[in-house]
Structure 1
């Protein structure tokens, strides 16, 4: 059984000279945990073969990883021009989200991370294709700069749908 004791946090209280305290210390200087083994508590075991997540959470991580792999397969199946168009659209959507946030309108804050990650995945696939073609980093930056200058500004898909209605 885990035992907990409050120790004096003041520097005046000290242990006798030959005694050493072997209990691990916590971030709070007045609390010491003695005789507690992390393996006794479910989900905190760090031994070999033990799950790092509490029971029931591992399934969700596997599902998220499968979705990510599926999304990467979809992105890799797209032609480069389609990827570039999608990146422009997603950046426009990201801009619209920033406007909503600044105007204090309702928005999903999780969309920021989702869009940024999707943009990053697309740009990563685009760079992988450049590496396959033998385009070095310096030339890639030049091509990227030219591509950014050639972008025609257009409303993001969410605004296009609103105008059609």
Structure 2
């Protein structure tokens, strides 16, 4: 039946959007994100599963961050509705929660088709840098906790541009009961 794919998309999308908690369907969502990213290479992002869809799902922050990481490679060169922008909005809405989650993107070296010189990892660095205002202290904490080379690079930039945030961090870390923080 020619309408089968249409019905599948509508039923899946509408059902997921109405759930009070999509966590039990994380595997389905990861598979769907993979399909969207794969399809986007040749046909663009399906309108039914654009950034708005993923932002509307009832998910914990960790799962949302992981899905957005999988989806940023689907962004094309045109249009305003992009997964990278959705990740930025997610970060701005709750920096203290999302900053460490974006630090976990530092190991993802997949290229972004919309920005050929960029990777998922460098996009995470750019998002964290761009949206640091008002949350530089929590960013410094997230970067130190992550310990990745890219986190160190961004922390060095933060030290140059907002030394106060790093100084406050050093004061916090010196009193931290965890020995690793007092290095």
Higher relative helix content: 2
Give the TM-score, by structure 2 length: 0.25
Give the TM-score, by structure 1 length: 0.27
